A and B are shown apart, each in its own frame.
Chain A
Amino acid sequence: MIVCVAVVGHQNNPLYIQSFTEEDDALKLHHIVHCSLDVVDERVNNPKKSGPTLNETFLGLLYPTENYKVYGYLTNTKVKFILVTTDLDVRDADVRNFFRRFHAAYVDAVSNPFHIPGKKITSKTFSERVSAIVKSFGLSSAG
């Protein structure tokens, strides 16, 4: 299950954080997302380590914490997408697919002329769409 998705701006400012858990662990997830930015920076600045994934938006598994797996994605405008999931065996393809759809939703959201770049995304449509994408995560592989 995806517990959290986040959009982080190129100055590491949070643009959108949404958790999908029942319990009150927003702070924890904020920390996890914030923390994973270090790894994103590392991946981006040391492309050697990522090797073949050079110039790819999908950053792969950023780091496994005790209960979560954190995946990252970097757009061309240096906006980072972070995905936190509790599924311990996730297929990369699923995650890639998720990020592709999430990216599309994000692009649509920021294309809104009333959206100010660099400000938090407040679009309701965007969050609805994200929820839908999150819900459908992993279903494609099962079906």
Chain B
Amino acid sequence: MVDPATTPLGKMLLDEITPVVMVLRTPLVEESCLKNGLSLLQILTPFSNFNNIDVPVRTSSDQPYRLQKFKLRLFYESDIRQPNLEVAKERLKQVITQAGEKDLSELCSDPPQLSNVVSSTESENLPSWFQFFNKELIHTVSFSDHEAFDHPVACLLVVSSKDEQPINRFIDLFNTNKLPSLLNDGSMDPKILKHYLLVHDNQDGSSEKAAKILTEMRSTFGPNECRLLCINSSQDGQIDHQDNPWDLYKPDTSPSQHLGCFLNIDDFNEIKDLMQELSSKHIIPYMEQKIRVLNQQVSATRKGFRNQLKNLWWRKGKDDTFDSPTGSMYTFSSIESQIRILGDYAFMLRDYELALSNYRLISTDYKLDKAWKRYAGVQEMMGLTYFMLDQSRKEAEYCMENAFSTYLKTGSSGQQNSTRCGLWWVEMLKARDQCKEAATVYFRICGEEPLYSAVMLEQASYCYLLSKPPMLHKYGFHLILSGDRYKKCDQIKHAIRTYRSATSVYRGTTWGHIKDHIHFHIGQWYALLGMYDVAVAHMLEVLACSNESKTTQEVFLRDFLQIVQKTGKTFEVLKLQLPVINISSLKVIFEDHRTYASPAAASVKESLWYSLEEDMTPSLSTTRSNWLELQSKVIPKKYKESNICVAGEAVKVDIEFKNPLQIPISISSVTLICELSVKSDEIESDSNSSTSEPRNDVESQKLTATKYTMDGSSDISSFTLSEIDISIGGGETIMVQLMVTPKVEGILNIVGVRWKLSGSVVGLYKFESNLVKKKIARGRRNANYSSGNDLKFIVIKSLPKLEGIIHSLPERAYTGHLRQLVLELRNQSEFPVKNLKMKVSQPRFLSVGMHDELDTKFPACLEKKTNSELSGADGNCSRVPQAVFLFPEDISIHGETPLSWPLWLHAAVPGNISLYITIYYEMGDTSSIIKYRTLRMHYNLQVLPSLNVLFQISPCPSRLKHFLVHLDVMNQTISESFQIHQLSTVGHQWEISLLQPFDTIFPLQSLYAGQALSCFFMLKNCGEESISSDIISSPSRILGNDASLQGSSDTLFDISGSPLADFHHCERLQQRVSSQDDPNAVDFILISRPPKSDTVSGISDPQYIYSHHACHCSTSGTGPITWLIDGPRTMHHNFFASFCEIDLRMTIYNSSDTAVFIRVNTYDSPNSNGQSSDVTTHSNCCSYRKSIRMA
């Protein structure tokens, strides 16, 4: 255990609880002293602190001990009174404010890291002014009447030799009405030790007169009590003291002023001797004496069993008569005060045992008397005595706690005392490393006065920090509490300091609510101080406060913008948190040899395009390697892996902005940040000659253009940027497409994105800083690219680029929808493109027409023509649908003239259909790096169900090779109505006809929504084998037979026409059930039209029809054999004549290709044996005649 005296508290006690000497002086004395720039008190003070006084002391016991350290506290008589509370407050406030000013420089620096704070030692952490403040706070309660250690022990009367009648002056000085109230109101003995000092200023002449006065004094006041002090012995006032002792005690002097400049070494020593003698020869013996006297007195009256009993009895009696809480009835002569003086004197002379026993004695008395303040004071001293004795910690703490709470009980007057008591208590706990407990005491000290409690709370927080293990959460909390109180007292700098310290606790944690609060307030306070830059930095932290309430967010944003406005600057903030950028959504769309007609096309998976284009791009591997070779010549190796984009064509970047707040924010001027380094021609030629050293030859000139206006400076820049203004609602996420269009060749690097929040703060976001996870829109490239390269582009010179659009493609259609579309291709550049090829992903839905079909009118062109024309039309439709459609060689597109080409759309089946179209073309100009490009188009088509068509075919019971076709049509749409136009069969061998006139079964012209229709057809197989097989081999030649369902008014559609036949072929392929084609299967095409508008003229017919294809409808029933028995229906016969013989004719038809063995059994009658006959048919009909004889 360390010696209690060396602890901070011990030092403080040895400093504070020492004998007080009251100094009385005449004005002339003061005048002489002031020549040195010091008052008398200031001259004496440095010499009243003795480190090695070495005085033997004997108190109550017989064993003397030696005092080494000793101190006298000197006060003028006017200062010996309780300090004015208001003045004291003002003074303390000043102390705090000054401390705040001093720390100002630190405010701009970064707040300390938590780990540093924890590891650093106590002295580094604690602001030094705390100690000073605590001392000042303790001094506010000095010279109280309830304790004796502040009562003057001695009195120093000082008269100048210049004074008239010095002896009288001495007597006058101790005039009662000038003395402090303590001596007058009876709380202390007015008969105190007096020491008479005559000050002689050597500048006023020789000291002879003074010596004379001294002898006179000695005869009047006694020989030992008088002394002469000569000062200002130096005549010129140029004495410059080494280690000037007064500097310490008067720190606020200017350095030019020499303190004690008239005091030479003799004066110096004389003052020293004076003080030494005063304490060792007068004060200490006086105190010893007094202690012994008092001790005897106390022993006589209070010690011993009899005295205690007497005291108790007497107290009890007194208790009835007195009930004064102030305890002012204790005059100096009362035994209680005497004991207290005894205790305090013993304490001051370090006889702690004696002090303690007396404090104990008096403590019970005061308690019985309910003199709480005095009781608390004694308890306080007991605690300190225990501490100094280093005994019984528990007792010490108990006493302090008791004193503390008792002080508090005494009301407002005790508040100050309790604070002092608390501070001592805290020091006591700190000395014993009980920091945590100390912190709670600090917490208890803080009363209503917010300023003091702020300081106390801050000290408490440091206690938590210093406790082992450190309690960081509490550290932070108390700092915040303290900061709040500082703010209440307008100590903004202190408030900022505490809050800043607190940030280190919360940094890196997820306690967002607290963090937001701290940063917001620091920001606000900095703004109050006018330090807007730092304020903005802190405010930035709270911007993305998604978990705060809406009003809080509004306040945060508003205040932030206000502060930013006050700075009058445009801030560029890297990683501004508002809005949040979803980096994983970053998607770069660029066009090298692949171009896209629409954004939708660009978002389609590369692999899909790849599979579509695979057989179209001619011998890909060789082209590719050539292309690479070519590239490696032109482009340095370093950039070989970079992407390629074409000058003049925009690179698009999709990125998501998310507003984390609940309030809308407005973002303006969203642009990309790009760099374009331009290659110079010479270097390029160099690189051509030496490809082995490509490293150094890249960029000669780097243009970094960041543009704020769209058009203003576009001329000077080597690229243009698109600019977007958006407003993001609360919690919304907006995908933004930004574009950069390079204008010259070089290396384009997309660095990041910038935006302006609410028109005042510019946010930057660098893509490289994060790991770019680009959605790979490029499947062909290797996956293991470094992220940086994805945003790096080689800009090559501009190329022709086709733009394509399909006109009149509906977004949704009903099943069966058949119409003509027009593909329009444009090439904006001068250079022509050639060798166009096209491929469609779904030929079932989209087929390519012929160029001359463009002018024809649909559906009129499909209508059946006269026979002579028909043969001509046949030639047209002999086309086989190809996988890749080659445009005629002579087509080249350039300049103004677009190319239009017909397409046919047939909505074959319901569902969401994605149509992918890719068009390949080659550059007319072969010098460029890219030889060919592809245009990719993507459309989505929603196909709704329309008519549900069902065919049921059953053999006709009465005729061979005739079938009954039962057609069920159900309109599945909600609102649409259809006009059934015709039903056609495909193939020569089939003939179809209506069983009944259509008007009778279906008088309404249209089939309305939800309606169903069923009707019967007669289907006749009239064909021969040869034709049937012909159909299978060349399905393009479709000839059919049609049954009109519309009466005779309308012409029928020719199903062998170009689009219908093509689509039918696709349908056949799609609807194929088995690998083997059934030769007896029949294909139906049901053609319907949208209902004709009621208005007779003016509105042209709709440009589309509906065609429903039902393929491979099997005509055969259970087997290939059909048979029919025919005979007379009625027969009249006279059975008397003979048997009746009826000729029945049985026709058996084998529809299969192979020979069939047929056996016919008859079961005529039970008595006759069944006859059987065997026939072999070979794909033919055979008639078998049989006579039935009936009895």
Contact = CB atoms under 8 A, between A and B. Distances in A.
B472 interface: yes
A35 B517 contact: no
A34 interface: yes
Contacts of A42: 471
Nearest to B440: A63
Contacts of B513: 17, 26-27, 30
A30 to B, nearest CB: 5
A45 B467 CA distance: 14
A79 B698 CA distance: 58
A38 B474 contact: yes
B514 interface: yes
Top 9 A-B pairs, shortest CB-CB distance: A38-B471, A38-B473, A35-B477, A13-B510, A30-B513, A37-B473, A38-B474, A35-B473, A31-B477
A45 B468 CA distance: 12
Given A35-B474, A38-B464, A38-B471, 9 more contacts: A27-B513, A27-B517, A30-B513, A31-B477, A34-B476, A35-B477, A37-B473, A38-B473, A42-B471
Given A35-B473, A38-B474, A42-B471, A13 B480 contact: no
A41 B472 CA distance: 11
B473 A13 contact: no
Identify whether the interface residues of B are mostly helix, strand, loop, or mixed: helix
Contact of A45 (B469, B472, B473, B517): B469
28 contacts: A12-B473, A12-B509, A13-B509, A13-B511, A14-B510, A14-B511, A17-B513, A26-B513, A27-B513, A27-B517, A30-B511, A30-B513, A30-B514, A31-B514, A34-B473, A34-B476, A34-B477, A34-B514, A35-B476, A36-B473, A38-B464, A38-B471, A38-B472, A38-B473, A38-B474, A41-B469, A41-B471, A45-B469
A114 B503 CA distance: 33
A101 B216 CA distance: 94
A36 B511 CA distance: 14
B1126 to A, nearest CB: 75
Interface string B495-529: 00000000000000111011001000000000000
Contacts of A45: 469
A34 B511 contact: yes
A26 B513 CA distance: 8
Interface in A20-73: 26-27, 30-31, 34-38, 41-42, 45
A35 B477 CA distance: 6
Contacts of B469: 41, 45
Contacts of B511: 13-14, 30, 34
Interface residues of A, number: 16
Contacts of A27: 513-514, 517
A7 to B, nearest CB: 12
B887 to A, nearest CB: 54
Interface in B449-477: 464, 469, 471-474, 476-477
Interface in A116-135: none
B755 to A, nearest CB: 29
Contacts of B510: 13-14
Nearest to B515: A30
Interface of A: 12-14, 17, 26-27, 30-31, 34-38, 41-42, 45
Nearest to B506: A34
Contacts, number: 38
B518 to A, nearest CB: 10
A12 B511 CA distance: 9
Interface string B478-505: 0010000000000000000000000000
A36 to B, nearest CB: 8
Contacts of B480: 31
A120 to B, nearest CB: 8
Nearest to A35: B477
Nearest to A31: B477
Nearest to B480: A31
A131 B471 CA distance: 31
A27 B469 CA distance: 26
Nearest to A29: B513
A19 B510 CA distance: 18
Contacts of A30: 511, 513-514
Give the one of A34, A41, A42 with max B CB within 10 A: A34
A30 B477 CA distance: 10
A30 B473 CA distance: 11
A20 B513 CA distance: 17
Nearest to B436: A42
Contacts of B474: 35, 38
A34 B473 CA distance: 6
B479 to A, nearest CB: 11
Give the one of A13, A14, A27, A38 with max B CB within 10 A: A38
B555 to A, nearest CB: 13
A17 B512 CA distance: 11
B263 to A, nearest CB: 57
A59 to B, nearest CB: 15
A132 B480 CA distance: 33
Contacts of B509: 12-13
A34 B481 CA distance: 13
B542 to A, nearest CB: 13
Contacts of A26: 513
A35 B464 CA distance: 11
B444 to A, nearest CB: 11
B504 to A, nearest CB: 14
Contacts of A13: 509-511
B1087 to A, nearest CB: 53
A35 B476 CA distance: 8
A51 B551 CA distance: 48
Nearest to B517: A27
Contacts of B514: 27, 30-31, 34
A35 B478 CA distance: 9
A26 B464 CA distance: 24
Give the one of A31, A36, A41 with max B CB within 10 A: A31
A38 B517 CA distance: 21
Contacts of B471: 38, 41-42
A17 B510 CA distance: 12
A29 to B, nearest CB: 9
A2 B471 CA distance: 26
Nearest to B514: A30
A108 to B, nearest CB: 23
Nearest to A12: B509
